[in-house]
């Protein structure tokens, strides 16, 4: 289970260190392979998947009918932009410049564990997300019923 948030510094070569607490998980559960791609729901972040979880998602997304625009957008943002990353000996992964620039990640970022994947945000975009509050209308719906919020 991936959870929690960690402040991350991106070095001059575009690399970030995987937090020490997750390095064994990445080596053991991911075969030392992660997949970085765009967050299709929010332009300000990237998704970082364990490789095995990525393969399942990739196949599901590719199986969607390409005749629907939303499916093509998902396929473009998730599969088309996917980059397989392997940590170096110091536990660092390189974030491609095109992806860093598109979501506005410069030197300071936040890595957020979201259960089955990480999300990587620029520090500013993450702060903006955290400052958003949910309204009563946002909280209405069967999918949230019974949560002890």
Residue 34 burial (10 A CB sphere; 0-12, 13-18, 19+): buried
Q: Does a structural domain hold residue 149?
A: no
Name the percent of the chain lying above pLDDT 70: 97
Of 84, 110, 83, the residue nearest 32 (C-alpha) = 84
Give the model confidence (pLDDT) of 1-12 as tens digits.
Answer: 899 999 999 999
The CATH number given to whatever domain includes residue 79 is 3.40.1550.20
Task: Quote the number of domains for the chain.
Answer: 1
Confidence category of residue 136, pLDDT binned at 50, 70, 90: confident
Q: Which domain, by its residues, includes 109? A: 2-131
């Amino acid at each position: 289970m991936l959870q929690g948030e960690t402040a991350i510094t991106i070095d001059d070569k575009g690399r970030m260190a995987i937090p020490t607490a997750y390095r064994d998980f990445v080596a053991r559960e991911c075969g030392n392979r992660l997949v970085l791609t765009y967050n299709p729901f929010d332009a300000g972040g990237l998704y970082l998947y364990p490789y095995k979880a990525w393969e399942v998602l990739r196949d599901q997304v590719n199986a969607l009918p390409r005749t629907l625009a939303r499916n093509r957008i998902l396929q473009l943002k998730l599969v088309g932009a996917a980059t397989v990353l392997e940590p170096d000996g110091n536990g660092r992964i390189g974030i491609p410049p095109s992806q860093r620039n598109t979501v506005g990640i410069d030197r300071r970022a936040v890595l957020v564990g979201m259960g089955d994947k990480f999300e990587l945000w620029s520090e500013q975009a993450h702060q903006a997300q955290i400052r958003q509050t949910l309204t009563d209308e946002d909280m209405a719906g069967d999918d949230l019923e019974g949560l002890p919020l």
